[in-house]
Amino acid sequence: MSASAIATTRHDWSLAEVKALFQQPFNDLLFQAQTMHRAHFDPNRVQVSTLLSIKTGACPEDCKYCPQSGHYNTGLEKQKLMEVQKVLEEAARAKAIGSTRFCMGAAWKHPSAKDMPYVLEMVKGVKAMGLETCMTLGKLDQEQTQALAQAGLDYYNHNLDTSPEFYGSIITTRTYSERLQTLAYVRDAGMKICSGGILGMGESLDDRAGLLIQLANLPEHPESVPINMLVKVAGTPLADEEDVDPFDFIRMLAVARILMPKSHVRLSAGREQMNEQMQALAFMAGANSIFYGEKLLTTANPQADKDMQLFARLGIQPEAREEHADEVHQAAIEQALVEQRSSELFYDAASA
């Protein structure tokens, strides 16, 4: 890849171009993605986030992949919005084991007026700890978006999930254009965008390419792009979908890295089903962000000590916040892991 190609950030990708990337020989694709990755990031640093479910279950949306949807019986225990102080306690635990970003997810179609003051206090409190803040609350209006920005929210997660063409097969209670409008409100308010999608829902190669095109052709690329592998949950309509081929998943990460060279590409849901070799390939393909801890909202995730053991074997270190020296940050992680082995794991989570 030429130096000029590496330097160019594009917003005009075509379906034919993106499909051609997917269809390259695997080694050529990984080499191209790794070259792009090294041009913009330290290849041996991975950003570490923790996600907490602050309100679980009974969501009115009908997303066919989601155990939190009120349309399906998955046996999920419903929980009301958490108290602010409990959320801040979980954020402190996340920081203690090395997370630099704390993400809070609520199973809502959109936040209500009565819940917004509590949500804003959560943002302010987590921000005061020196953590980056992220929330996923569903659809936002312009006033809510501005309020979150004023409270200090750094990132807003709002996934597109799949291509516009396949979207209606997965969700009918919210339109694709509504999702894009929320992302536009977030960007206009000055916040960073976290937006990606899910593999394994029965989509085609065109749909996978189409999702990445939607993200890469936004006026500004999302700062964070979570790529999820479907976690099949009994009771959801997608419980019996075929498994994603591991090499196809790695290809998705690699193409995301090439299309959005300056974005953090997050290895997100589904990591519990990946062996260490697959995760290592994911990092080689350009993934440089993970959710860290015991749970991803309502599904399992590799435990923090296992992640650190894998990082050590691969020579990877967590990406530190700028205000902390790397040595201090790493020492804090190691000490927290020692303490954690003799205590109950915190309940944290992640969403796609």
Catalytic sites, residue numbers: 59, 63, 66, 103, 134, 194, 266
- 179 labelled binding-site residue: no
Six token digits for residue 49? 């986030």
User: Percentage helix, strand, coil, to 5, in the chain?
Assistant: 40, 15, 45
Residues in the chain: 352
- Ligand-binding site membership of 194 (annotated): yes
Task: Report the alpha-carbon distance of residue 141 to residue 131 in Å, rounded.
Answer: 25
Distances (CA, A) of 112 to 53, 97, 117, 137: 17, 32, 10, 10
Is 101 marked as binding a ligand? no
**Alpha-carbon gap, residue 112 to 48, rounded angstroms:** 30
Question: d(Cα 291, Cα 274) in Å, to the nearest integer?
Answer: 14
**SS3 state at 122:** helix
* DSSP string for 288-316: -EEE-SSEETTEE---HHHHHHHHHHHT-
Q: Which two three-digit tokens encode residue 62?
A: 């009908």
* CA distances in angstroms from 288 to 23, 134, 304, 316, listed in the order given: 23, 17, 16, 10
Q: Is 174 annotated as a binding residue?
A: no
With a CB cutoff of 8 Å and minimum separation 6, the contacts of 301 are: 269, 271, 272, 291, 292, 293, 294, 295, 349, 350
187 is in an annotated binding site: no
Residue whose C-alpha is closest to residue 21's, from 201, 252, 261, 278: 252
**Which H or E element spans position 327?**
helix 326-340
By the 8 A CB rule, do 67 and 115 touch?
Answer: no
Instruction: Detail the residues annotated as belonging to a binding site.
Output: 59, 63, 66, 103, 134, 194, 266
Instruction: Detail the residues annotated as belonging to a binding site for [4Fe-4S] cluster.
Output: 59, 63, 66
Instruction: Detail the residues annotated as belonging to a binding site for [2Fe-2S] cluster.
Output: 103, 134, 194, 266
